[in-house]
Structure 1
Amino acid sequence: MPKVNPAQSLVDLLRERGKLYDPRVEEALLAIPRHLFLPDAPIEQVYDDQSIPVKTDLRGDATCSDTMPSMVAHLLQQLSLQPGQNVLHIGTGTGYVSALMAHLVHKEGTITTIEIDRDIAKEAEANLVRNGYGMVKVVNKDGAEGYAPRAAYDRIVATCGIWDMPIAWIKQIKPEGRIIAPIWLDGLQVMASFKLEADGTLYAENVMPSAFVYIRGIAEGPMVRKFVGSTELMLLADEIHEVDTVALAMLLANDADICYLSAPLNTIEYWYGFIPFMMLHEGDKDVFALYTIRDGYKAYGMEGEGFALLSAASAAFVPYYGMGMVHCFASSDTFIEIEKQLSAWQSLGRPTISQLRLRLIPKDQPIPQITMGKLYPRRHHYLHVWFDQ
């Protein structure tokens, strides 16, 4: 009886969902079964399309995880790795993604992977050696510094969310190379492939939503998360410093009205269309945020995850799976604003995240004067985000 490759079910699942289309990436996923790098995880969990925490903080939130396979497939297809290429990987984790990349660049290529956590770096190195990928160089250091001894790189890829592009990565990429990294904006994180332009800016298109743990060390961004009151309601927003959680808790203490948007959207329509649009068109006095309530808990009559629009006297929470349902607190101002943006999004033909464009402009250049989208000041750059219509 022929031996069954346990990775085949995962490959079949990804193909069925339209997440896997590159035969070379498919071959790599079959050649390197995921369970070899997650020996303690239940096999049914390993071969489902989900992230698996590797290390957690005191609250139980992941500080390191093995990325969900559909995102790994997208990442590898976006990288378009070729034999002989030189690759720097930031965020080693279990070593699984590094092994897949090593398989794709063949023996004539080189993979250097950086992990800031010493214990995780040691475990990843052991995983790689045990599974025949000892040629991958594991470096225990701050990933934002890159690794100059092996530069310049054809690809630099981060499997951790960044707030701004570290200068070291730009210095260590080849002129024709690409930097693939998840970058966050207004709580929404998108995986983007950046290329260096002649004017010194970094331009990206072909982005998609992602959910990686945030980079740690010198490139850490500002705090973008807050809990409301003593509940499990957590807000995630670029402008979280503008949210008075005490005042918000008092506002949410009143019973919510259940309202419905004029167009009942599903989760895909939210994530791949309306949320990016809403994020770029929030009012000057409003704060756009994503929210999550820990599984098994409720807060202010709500549960689950979604997005919210907040103002001083109004709040509207839209669950991803509510098909247009909205929890409206206090006045209806924020609900009316969401409805207004929904109408504008539909009138423009429902633009999707595939039309989202990003440009990082170095701060030693003049402040960009933009006519569309939104400009986010970052540590080293201005991040311009807009829809190409």
Structure 2
Amino acid sequence: MTKEGDKNYLRRGFQNETNFLRNRVVSQLVERGFIRNKKIEDAFRKVPRHIFLPGIEPQEVYSDVSIITKKIGIEPISSSTQLSLMASMLEILHLKKGMKVLEIGAGTGYNAAIMAELVGDERKIISVDIDAETVEEAQQNLAKAGYKGVTIKCADGAKGFTENAPYDRIIVTCSIRNILIPLIKQLKEDGIMVLPIWFNGTQITPALEKQRNGDLISLSATIGGLMDIRSKTFQEIQVEPSKKEAEELLICSEHPEMFPEEKIKSLLQSPHQEKELPLKEALSQRGGDFFIFLALHEKKSVELFVETDANEFAFGDSAAGIVDLENNSACLISRNNKLFIYGNLSTYRKLLSLSKRWERLKKPGVDKLQVFVFMHNQITLQKNDLIFREKFPTIVVRIL
């Protein structure tokens, strides 16, 4: 066989492998219920994700994991979203043929390619990213994959992109703490915006429909789990004073200032009690129903992930619950649903009280939440409504 023949043989082998892996992971997403819409399934089967992640092994590309694409030191600043989360967000975005879509956070360009398939016209997809280097890479990936018509612009996503407004749909592929007013203004009446919002220790991703008066009401919601939106470019972050070389804990919260790592480590390395948890489904996965309920009610809720190999903490590699450093108390649920209690029992009592309330309300999950964004002061509350006045605009979460 000639050298050219060898290359063709290897190329065909690689193509067969990526096709097999792509179809396998999509079938798994369908079986697990993350993909329900046949058009979304077809788009995931068609778009070759490995083209958008050059240098990454196909087995990792076509697995249901988030893949870090940029770091500064040990800190990740850009990624390709976990496939199940991406599919869940696209399911509630309800894209239709011919719709004009704004994406905040271009990433690798992969999500833009999927959406181009769903709306049937590449020119209808506009994606913005704050990093010029990311924009250039996304453009190259899209061109290589055959989606040259998608528009990728370098801009601050928090301001949207007025040039092509208004939009039928807006999707934000990074987490936010407050609803971004420019995006509301650039969304058509009856348009839908999907974005992950921080609520204390968790993220909820509603599909918000714009009303005639400018308010937003969610039609459905799913879990979140995306990196925070950035106001600084890659280059601006690089020239900042470097942080310490390694962090042992990844602390996930809307209020990171409440959880200094050294103080948390000191508390979590102190003597503890271990108890069985009566709620078997409490934290079977990140974003478990009970923890979402807990986080909506408790400002000091937090998720913790151990970043080092050392097994320093009794709870293992991850946990979620309440950490109250002011009162020297923590109550955490481990991955295998064990309770770990540190310091005094105040957080333990609080967690048990919330678990009983959750059970009385018939264990609501994210599918039983409705999110309201009020642009005006006329707010009518119902029983079990949770109001977040510190957010702007004011957000209300209703437990249905």
TM-score > 0.5, shorter chain as reference: yes
- How far apart, CA to CA, are the structure 1 residues paired with 2:139 and 2:286? 39
Q: Distance in 2 between the 1:41 and 1:246 partners?
A: 34
The residue type equivalent to 2:117 in the other structure is H
Q: Which residue of 1 aligns with 2:65?
A: 50
Aligned pair partner of 2:192 in 137, 157, 178 = 178
Tell me the residue number matched to 1:130: 144
The answer to whether the aligner puts 1:310 opposite 2:323 as a matched pair is: yes
Q: Which ranges of structure 1 fall in alignment gaps of 5 or more residues?
A: 219-226
Question: How many angstroms apart in 1 are the aligned matches of 2:267 and 2:283?
Answer: 27
1:338 aligned to 2:351?
A: yes
Shift of 1:64: 0.8
Counterpart residue type for residue 261 of structure 1: L
1:387 and 2:393 are equivalent in the alignment: no
> How many residues are matched?
371
- Alignment partners' CA distance in 2, 1:270 and 1:44: 23
- 2-structure distance, mates of 1:302, 1:125: 43
In 2, distance between residues paired with 1:245 and 1:19? 34
Q: Tell me if the contact between 1:262 and 1:339 (Cα under 8 Å) persists in the aligned partners.
A: no
> 1-side partners of 2:285 and 2:265: how far apart?
29
Output the CA distance in 2 between the equivalents of 1:242 and 1:163. 15
1:196 to 210, 214, 232: 210
Q: 1:260 to 1:346 in 2, by over 3 A?
A: same
1:222 equivalent in structure 2: none
Question: Which of 371, 374, 388 in structure 1 is aligned with 2:386?
Answer: 374
Establish whether residue 349 from structure 1 lines up as the match of residue 365 from structure 2: no
Q: Which residue of 2 aligns with 1:223?
A: none
Q: Distance in 2 between matches of 1:27 and 1:367?
A: 42
- 1:131 is matched by which residue type in structure 2? A
TM-aligned CA deviation for residue 50 of structure 1: 0.8
The counterpart of 1:273, out of the listed 275, 280, 289, is 289
Q: Which residue does the alignment assign to 1:20? A: 35
Structure 2 CA distance for partners of 1:265 and 1:108, relative to 1, 3 Å: closer
Q: Retained in 2: the 8 A contact 1:280–1:373?
A: no
AA in 2 matched with 1:90 = I
For residue 13 of structure 1, what is the amino acid of its counterpart? Q
Q: Is the 8 A contact 1:231 1:299 kept in 2?
A: no
* Residue correspondence of structure 1 range 68-83 to structure 2 within 5 A: 68-83=82-97
Pair 1:141-2:150 in alignment: no
After superposition, what is the alpha-carbon deviation per residue over 1:86-138, rounded to whole angstroms, capped at 9, x for unaligned?
A: 11111111101101111111138511110111111100001111221110011
SS in 2 for 1:216: coil
The one-letter code of the counterpart of 1:196 is K
Q: Which amino acid aligns with 1:358?
A: V
Counterparts of 1:244 and 1:51 in 2: how far apart (Å)?
A: 26
Alignment-mate amino acid for residue 15 of structure 1? V
TM-score norm. by structure 2 comes to 0.85
Q: Please state if 1:92 is matched with 2:106.
A: yes
Distance 1:370 1:245 in 2: 38
Aligned counterparts of 1:181 and 1:370: Cα–Cα separation in 2: 24
Q: Work out the CA distance in 2 between the residues paired with 1:24 and 1:93.
A: 23
The structure carrying a bigger helix percent of its residues is: 2
- Secondary structure of the residue aligned to 1:271 is coil
For residues 137 and 170 of structure 1, the distance between their equivalents in structure 2, rounded to whole angstroms, comes to 21
**Is 1:254 matched up with 2:270?**
yes
User: SS at 1:165's partner residue?
Assistant: coil
Correspondences of 1:5-16 after superposition (within 5 Å): 5-6=19-20, 7-16=22-31
Give the aligned partner of residue 221 of structure 1: none
Structure 2 gaps, min length 5: 1-11, 233-242
Distance 1:49 1:371 in 2: 38
Q: TM-score, normalised by structure 1?
A: 0.87
Distance 2:372 2:189 in 1: 17
Report the AA paired with residue 230 of structure 2.
R
CA RMSD of aligned residues (A): 2.6
Q: 1:251 to 1:68 in 2, by over 3 A?
A: closer
Residue in structure 1 matching 2:340, options 322, 327, 349: 327
